[in-house]
Amino acid sequence: MKKIGELLVEQGKVSERDVERTLLAQSEMGDMFGQVLIKLGLVSELDFAQVLSQQLGLALYAAADYPDAPLAIDGVALDFLFSNAVVPVSADAGQVKFAAAVPQDPFISKALSMALDKPVDIALGLESDINRALQVYLQSGEEGEEDDVNDQFAGQSDDEFIEHLRDLASEAPVIRLVNQIIHRAVDMSASDIHIEPFEDGLHLRYRVDGVLQEHPDAPAPSLSAAIASRIKLLSHMNIAEQRLPQDGRIMTRVKGHELDLRVSTIPTVHGESIVMRVLDRESIRLSLTDMGFSDDTLGRYRELLARPHGVLLVTGPTGSGKTTTLYASLASLDSGHLKIITVEDPVEYQLQGVNQIQVQSQIELTFARALRSILRQDPDIIMIGEMRDTETAQIGVQSALTGHLVLSTLHTNTAAGAITRLEDMGVERYLITSSVNGVLAQRLVRTLCTHCKQKTTLSPETIARSGIAPYLADGQHEVYQAAGCSHCMETGYSGRTSIHELFPLDEEMHRVIMSGADATVLHAAARRQGMITLYEDGLRKVAAGLTSMEEVLRVTQDQSEDMAAPEVVEVAPKAEQAVSV
C-alpha cells in the first residue's frame, strides 16, 4: 500500500516539499499526518479525505448521508462517540454502520463490535460532518431534559438557584459543547466568539479576519443558561448575577495552543450575551517586518522609534492591531540595555525583559497612578496601553519632556486627528510640538486567499478614478479579486495584514500645528510633505496582489474619496486656514 503522502503528490494535491514540511511539523505537533496537512492549509479536508478513502478502500460519507434525527444505539455511550469522532449512520437487525474520522483505528471497530455484539461497518467521514452530526445528539438530549429553563428555577431559594446553575454547568454534554465552541474558534483562527440570545433562538458567531461569520449549528436555546453558567465558572465570575455586566478570563490549552480568553457578559432582553476575545499566544507575531509595513514607512517608523525621548502614538479603531504593533516595537528594542515598563489594561501578551503592569481600577491602580509611580523606577521607555483621559495624556507628555520615550495608543480615525484629540484632552499645542515625534495610523485588511484569488483587469477609467496608477508597474493593468474556496471558507480571504499612515512631526508640521489648524488642514499639510495615506498604502498592497480593491475600500471608506494627488495647502498665519485644491 502506498503512503498517503505519495498518493497526494501523485494526484497533484501537494508537492514533495509540502510533505517534508508536514512531516517536520508533525514531529513537533504530534498530530496525525492528515490533521497536520489540513492545519497548515496545504490541502482541504475534503481533498485529503478522498485520497484517504482511496488508500483505505473505504466509502466516504457525504454530509447528506447522515441522519437528520439521532439514532438510538443501546450499548454505546455518547462519551465514546465524542471521544473517538464516530457517529452511527444507519442500523438494522444485522449490522450498524458508522462514520469515523479515523476509521483505520482498530480500537474503534473492536470496541463497537464488543459493545453491540454484532458486526459493524465503519466508513470514512469528514471530521466537520461528524461533529455536526454529534451536535444533533447533544441538543436532542438536552432539549428532553430542559423544555423550559425558567420553570426549573421557579420557587428556588438563592442558594438552590446557584447550586442548580453549578449542576447545569458541570454536566458532561455542556462541558463538551463549550469545549467544542472554543476548539472551533482555534480551527477557524477566529479572534472573537459571540454567543447571543435572540427572540428566534441562540446565535453563535465567530469573528474571522475582522468579519463576523454566523455558525449554522448554534446550540439549542434551552442550553443558554447552562452554557452561560459553564463559561462564568471557567472565567471565575458570579454565576448567580445575571442583571449586571461582568468580565473574566479563561486560561486554557487547546490543540497545542496556549489560549487566553477574555470573557465579557452583558444582560439583554433575551438573556445574557457572551463575547470571548481569543488571544492565541503562540500565533502572535512580534516582529515589525511581519506587520505589513511598506519598506519606506518601516524605515521612517524605525527612525522615530530610535529617538531617545518623545511621544510616539499609534491610532486606529478597536481591533486594528495597535497594541500588537506596540508589542512588536518593544520587541525590536534592546531590553537588555534599556529599562522598559508598560501600563496596560489588560496585559495581552507577556514580553521577555519588559516590566508589565496590569491596571486594576477596583483598587484604584489607574493609568495615571501607575505612571506617576513608574517614573521613579528610572525607565528608558514607557508604554501606555491607551491614553484615555486628560491626566494620563498630560503625564505621558511630561514624561517625554523629561527624557523618556513614550509609546501609546489613541482612538482617532487619522494620524493627523491625534493632534486635535490631544488638544481636546487638555494638552497645549506648544507641548504637543515639543513632545510628539510622530503618529502612526493603522488598519487591518484581509489578505486574498492564495488558492482561489482571481485576476481582474482594470479599465483606464477605474485606474484614473481610484488613484492606483502610481503604484502599478509599467504596463500593469491587472490586480486580484476575491473568489472563494474550501481553504478560506468561501470568503476569498485568508489572514490579515496592516496598512499604515505615518505622520512625522517635523519643523513644517510644528508651524502648521501652532497656527491652530484643525485635523483636516493638518492632514492636507502632511500629504503635501509626502505622507502616504491609509488608502494609498492599501492601493500599494492591491497593486502587489496582497488584497483586493473592495477590501481596501471597505476599511478606508472615510479616506477613499481622497484619491488623487496631494492637495496644495497654504497655511495662514492665524487660526483661519485657506485651503486650495
How does residue 113 score in pLDDT terms, banded at 50, 70 and 90?
A: confident
Here the cell at position 51 is 485520497
- Give residues with Cβ within 8 angstroms of 420, minimum separation 6: 518, 519, 522
Could you give the C-alpha distances from 257 to 17, 35, 261, in angstroms and in order? 25, 15, 12
How does residue 255 score in pLDDT terms, banded at 50, 70 and 90?
A: low
Class of domain 4-138: alpha beta
Interval 379-437: pLDDT, tens: 999 999 899 889 899 999 999 999 999 999 998 888 999 999 999 999 999 999 999 99
CA-closest candidate to residue 432, choices 443, 440, 421, 444: 421
Give the mean model confidence (pLDDT) for residues 85-100. Answer: 85
Domain boundaries, the chain: 4-138, 171-280, 288-444+498-534
How does residue 151 score in pLDDT terms, banded at 50, 70 and 90?
A: very low
Contact between 351 and 330 (Cβ < 8 Å): yes
Is the pLDDT confidence value at 28 over 70?
A: no
Average pLDDT of the residues of the chain: 83
How does residue 45 score in pLDDT terms, banded at 50, 70 and 90?
A: confident
Predicted local confidence at residue 4, as pLDDT: 81
d(CA 89, CA 398): 70
d(CA 548, CA 482): 7
Give the mean model confidence (pLDDT) for residues 318-330. Answer: 89
Contact between 400 and 311 (Cβ < 8 Å): yes
Is the pLDDT confidence value at 283 over 70?
A: no
How does residue 567 score in pLDDT terms, banded at 50, 70 and 90?
A: very low
Predicted local confidence at residue 238, as pLDDT: 86
Interval 540-554: pLDDT, tens: 999 999 999 999 999
Q: What are phi and psi of 170, to 5 degrees?
A: -95, 0
Task: Tell whether pTM > 0.85.
Answer: no
- Give residues with Cβ within 8 angstroms of 580, minimum separation 6: 567, 568, 569, 570
**Amino acid identity for residue 454 in this structure:** Q
How does residue 160 score in pLDDT terms, banded at 50, 70 and 90?
A: low
Predicted local confidence at residue 566, as pLDDT: 38
DSSP reduced 3-state for 555: helix
d(CA 539, CA 476): 14
User: What pairs with residue 252 in β-bridges?
Assistant: 259
Interval 352-387: pLDDT, tens: 889 999 888 778 888 888 988 998 899 999 999 899
Is the pLDDT confidence value at 31 over 80?
A: no
Contact between 245 and 291 (Cβ < 8 Å): no
How does residue 569 score in pLDDT terms, banded at 50, 70 and 90?
A: very low
d(CA 514, CA 491): 47
- Of 569 and 236, more confident: 236
d(CA 224, CA 206): 17
Interval 202-230: pLDDT, tens: 899 999 988 899 887 778 777 788 888 88
How does residue 153 score in pLDDT terms, banded at 50, 70 and 90?
A: very low
What is the architecture of the domain spanning 171-280?
Answer: 2-Layer Sandwich (3.30)
User: What pairs with residue 479 in β-bridges?
Assistant: 456
Predicted local confidence at residue 570, as pLDDT: 39
How does residue 264 score in pLDDT terms, banded at 50, 70 and 90?
A: very high
Is the pLDDT confidence value at 189 over 70?
A: yes
Give the mean model confidence (pLDDT) for residues 329-340. Answer: 88
Predicted local confidence at residue 164, as pLDDT: 60
Class of domain 288-444+498-534: alpha beta
CA-closest candidate to residue 540, choices 492, 483, 494, 498: 498
Predicted local confidence at residue 543, as pLDDT: 94
Give the mean model confidence (pLDDT) for residues 329-353. Answer: 86
How does residue 152 score in pLDDT terms, banded at 50, 70 and 90?
A: very low
Give the mean model confidence (pLDDT) for residues 272-298. Answer: 84
Same fold, 171-280 and 288-444+498-534: no
Considering the chain, what percentage of its residues have pLDDT values greater than 90? 32
Q: Which helix (H) or strand (E) holds 70?
A: none
Predicted local confidence at residue 572, as pLDDT: 39
Give the mean model confidence (pLDDT) for residues 14-38. Answer: 78
Contact between 466 and 563 (Cβ < 8 Å): yes
**Least confident span in 179-188, 279-288, 407-416:** 279-288
Alpha helices, DSSP H, located in 409-533: 417-424, 429-435, 460-466, 507-514, 519-528
